[in-house]
A and B are shown apart, each in its own frame.
Chain A
């Protein structure tokens, strides 16, 4: 069997800024019917929250498992 060429790996995409249209589409996919006013209010909140969560990319998590069941003892 002849070797098949390995397709080139696509260059990684930089995350795109979250827009109102993207938010609307994501909400609809989850069955959330949001008004234009809802989306206007929600967009900066989602952006701010995502920015906080994205800070976790800098955390040294390589060998760290999640506290999937958070039980102290």
Chain B
């Protein structure tokens, strides 16, 4: 039973479909692990044990009746608690929504269920997804499974998604990414996560931090599992006007292991050059590995990245404040202090600031598109640092102290502004045994190449397959 919680989603789907294991066994194994570990890990806000077992029994009956099965039939997943679930409370990690029970599912939840996935529960997060550490004063802060002895951040805002998948408490999870919130916890927890192109996956029924920056995507233990989840979730949705009508490829079929002839751009300036030594070395080694597989690599610079922080700040502050304005006036004390304070900053951003941010956004997006015109993917570290203990405000990078919060989003948020697809892929560990991730950035709507590169890398390395010591 223990091994079931470490079995990849692709393999679980095959084992269920071929009647080697029952979905009931799979779900029960995960519920047992949640019961054993979650008092410490705090990955879940709501565990849906009864409904998960009920769904598992129904899934088992479908297998026995030889019905047509979806690609995720009987495979458990966790949902970041900002995705609306019909009849199940959806808190967005906040006390404000502590009793909020939606009357409809988010589109991605409907699609995952239609593919046969079974929801184990709702996952912890930074309140209203408004922070990159994953801190939560209401439901507790998730514990990074890679250090059982010290309470380190699992990264945010999808902190519970990162901790749960890393600790074997679900094989894959939904995250969301407004400034890095899929890629940051994926990197800090040793997972593979992909922020798809803006418009690839519906945001309908997801509580927004910032409408024009929010991306919905999977967090798993491999690129192959991300491919399986993403295909089930992606595609046009009339409930979300930003979704694209472009067809969704079979991402799994595109995982050939081949990167020969692929053109890779390595982002050194603004990225690799400012990362910590372990991150720098791990990413450089990963690029050599891809070169060894037949890819060609050259260094490139994105000059407009200079404006990434300003554009992101103007947009996220204005959009988040617009969403929370009424609650900040009438229910301010119900927010956690750090989130309330940072949301209030948006009250002092003008309309002209917002539009200047949206104009700079066009510069940034156009430059990334232009550079990717002659390259297939770009590579950069996901983060300059590894997971820090909860409460750490400053961290040393190459002998200089830097504030933690901006360090966490420095390399990720420009690609929320630009909108292209980006995966975070495990590529090493620090001397302290903490995971390191690299970003693989692709052309708009070319998630297939991003996943192919990540998968090819994972076929010749084992960083993604290592298990954390917590609960081993």
Contacts of A52 in B (CB 8 A): 309-310, 313
Q: Say yes or no: is A41 at the interface (Cβ < 8 Å to chain B).
A: yes
CA distance A58 to B311 in the complex (A): 12
CB A56 to nearest CB in B, in angstroms, measures: 4
Proximity bits, A42-72, B CB within 8 Å = 1, else 0: 1001100110111111111100111110111
Instruction: Check A72–B363 contact: CB distance below 8 A.
Output: no
CB proximity to A under 8 Å, residues B80-95:
none
CA distance A64 to B309 in the complex (A): 18
CA distance A46 to B358 in the complex (A): 19
Which one, B244, B313, B362, contacts A67 given CB within 8 A? B362
Instruction: Check A53–B359 contact: CB distance below 8 A.
Output: no
A53-B310, A71-B242, A72-B198 are known contacts. Are A42 and B362 too (CB-CB below 8 A)? no
Which one, A38, A61, A71, contacts B356 given CB within 8 A? A61
Q: How many residues of B contact A (CB 8 A)?
A: 41
If over half of B's interface residues share one DSSP class (helix, strand or loop), that class is named, otherwise mixed; here it is helix
Q: Say yes or no: is B175 at the interface (Cβ < 8 Å to chain A).
A: no
CA distance A2 to B415 in the complex (A): 59
Instruction: Check B246–A53 contact: CB distance below 8 A.
Output: no
CB proximity to A under 8 Å, residues B336-377:
341-342, 344-345, 347-349, 353, 355-363, 365
Q: How many residues of A contact B (CB 8 A)?
A: 34
Instruction: Check B361–A73 contact: CB distance below 8 A.
Output: no
Contacts of B445 in A (CB 8 A): 72-73
Q: Say yes or no: is B328 at the interface (Cβ < 8 Å to chain A).
A: yes
A60-B363, A72-B244 are known contacts. Are A53 and B357 too (CB-CB below 8 A)? yes
CB A26 to nearest CB in B, in angstroms, measures: 6
CA distance A44 to B329 in the complex (A): 21
CB A29 to nearest CB in B, in angstroms, measures: 9
Instruction: Check B419–A64 contact: CB distance below 8 A.
Output: no
CA distance A52 to B311 in the complex (A): 8
Instruction: Check B360–A42 contact: CB distance below 8 A.
Output: no
Instruction: Check A49–B242 contact: CB distance below 8 A.
Output: no
Interface CB pairs A-B, < 8 A, 10 = A26-B348, A45-B342, A49-B349, A53-B313, A56-B307, A59-B307, A59-B310, A64-B360, A70-B242, A70-B358
The 10 closest A-B pairs by CB, nearest first: A66-B358, A56-B310, A55-B310, A52-B313, A70-B212, A72-B199, A52-B310, A64-B359, A61-B359, A66-B359
